[in-house]
Amino acid sequence: MLASLKSDVAFLADDKLEGRQTGTEGEKAAAAYLVQRFQELDLEPKGTDGYIQMFNFKPKTNPHEDVKFTEVSSDSTIVGRNVLGFIDNKSDQTIVIGAHYDHLGYGGEDSLFRGDEKAIHNGADDNASGVALMLNLASKLRATNVNNNYLFIAFSGEEMGLLGSNYFVKNATIDVAKMNYMINMDMVGRLKDSALAIYGTGTSPIFKQTLKSHNNDFKLVMKESGVGPSDHTSFYLADLPVLHFFTGQHNDYHKPSDDTETLNYEGMESISTYIFNIISDLNDNGKLAFRKTKNESEENPRFKVGLGVIPDYMYDGKGMRVDGVSEGKPAIAAGIKKGDIVIELGGNKVTDMMSYMKALSAFKKGDKTTVILTRSGKEVKAEIQF
């Protein structure tokens, strides 16, 4: 099993795929590989063209616009490809298990790399790791667990704004009412100090106890919200319970150095076993109850500015802990360093990621304000200009 996790990551994160950017030859080659893997695993095709579901869209011309899907492709549209495989156990419920396989290609505006030459962003952790884990789960569930059907989806367009999952939910190839819940994996390759984050734990009343009862090895960081920075959000917004697994931020995030040799494959295997046990346990429970998590309307604030930091999503204390700073951005100019914890921004208390994002959404380019942070236990004030 470890061997196939490694070979799947190795194929997807190879330079030959040129970073798997949506709409490129590299993305197509990755999709063709996933079709072949789904065939080997004896999954039924569940796309609109065999295993593939294509979607056309016009890319954003400015960051405040939403992407528009279009019926037909033209010179100004990009074609993305979701890849879908199905295990039909003749149940009336289907569990959706997904991971995005697209990444940043040669970088572009979402890259945090500040080198001079453009470089391939292989995205081994983001998100060859999640796709390899999904294939691993498919092979485990293939042999057992017949109480539900399973739909496996490798999404494209995630990095451009959760496009593949959004399109799928609006153009589902199975009845949405018959989906039971959704499991998403995005960046699961860097298990460190056993810390595993799970988002969406508040989206069904049964989740927390189930997650706890099967946990032997992990330090779990649970977040209730069904809204977050990956594809599970699209399913939550369609009123489905969701769980999203994540092993945390790191300095290679969205950089060419997010590569195969940095992954913890034993960690991936243990996460796979953990998720498999959770699915097996939940299989006796029929359709899971859905619950909305709080403050949804506020959870997706629109940003006009950014500090230029990488937040530490695994940090569970008060405030927003900085895991890295980007060159040439406001935070570095204000002297903010890795390890600092932002506790106040422009007079608003920052207690967690949500309040940080809310505070940030009030500013526009050129605004000046004060940030209060703690560094090695001491409070530090910094002036910042966006």
Binding site for Zn ion (CB under 5 A): 126-127, 186
Beta partners for residue 255, in sequence order: none
Q: How many CB atoms lie within 10 A of CB 328?
A: 8
> Smallest distance, Å, CB 231 to Zn ion?
9
- From 235, 107, 100, select the one nearest 156 (Cα to Cα): 100
Q: How many CB atoms lie within 10 A of CB 209?
A: 10
Of the two residues 104 and 384, which places its CB atom closer to Zn ion in the complex?
104
> Smallest distance, Å, CB 102 to Zn ion?
9
Of the two residues 200 and 330, which places its CB atom closer to Zn ion in the complex?
200
Of the two residues 127 and 136, which places its CB atom closer to Zn ion in the complex?
127
- From 113, 122, 109, select the one nearest 30 (Cα to Cα): 122
> Smallest distance, Å, CB 142 to Zn ion?
25
Beta partners for residue 184, in sequence order: 98, 244
The two tokens of residue 107 are 């970088």
Of the two residues 186 and 259, which places its CB atom closer to Zn ion in the complex?
186
Contacts of residue 297, defined as CB under 8 A and 6 or more positions apart, other chains included, come to none
> Smallest distance, Å, CB 96 to Zn ion?
17
Max distance between CA atoms of the chain, in angstroms, equals: 61
> Smallest distance, Å, CB 99 to Zn ion?
9
Of the two residues 186 and 340, which places its CB atom closer to Zn ion in the complex?
186
Of the two residues 225 and 355, which places its CB atom closer to Zn ion in the complex?
225
Contact status, residue 270 vs residue 330, Cβ threshold 8 Å = no
| Full DSSP string of 49-63 | BTTEEEEEEEPPSST
Of the two residues 81 and 382, which places its CB atom closer to Zn ion in the complex?
81
> Smallest distance, Å, CB 365 to Zn ion?
27
> Smallest distance, Å, CB 187 to Zn ion?
6
Contact status, residue 200 vs residue 228, Cβ threshold 8 Å = yes
> Smallest distance, Å, CB 205 to Zn ion?
28
- 16 DSSP 8-state letter: G
Contact status, residue 314 vs residue 292, Cβ threshold 8 Å = no
Of the two residues 25 and 110, which places its CB atom closer to Zn ion in the complex?
110
The two tokens of residue 44 are 């039924």
Size of the chain in residues: 386
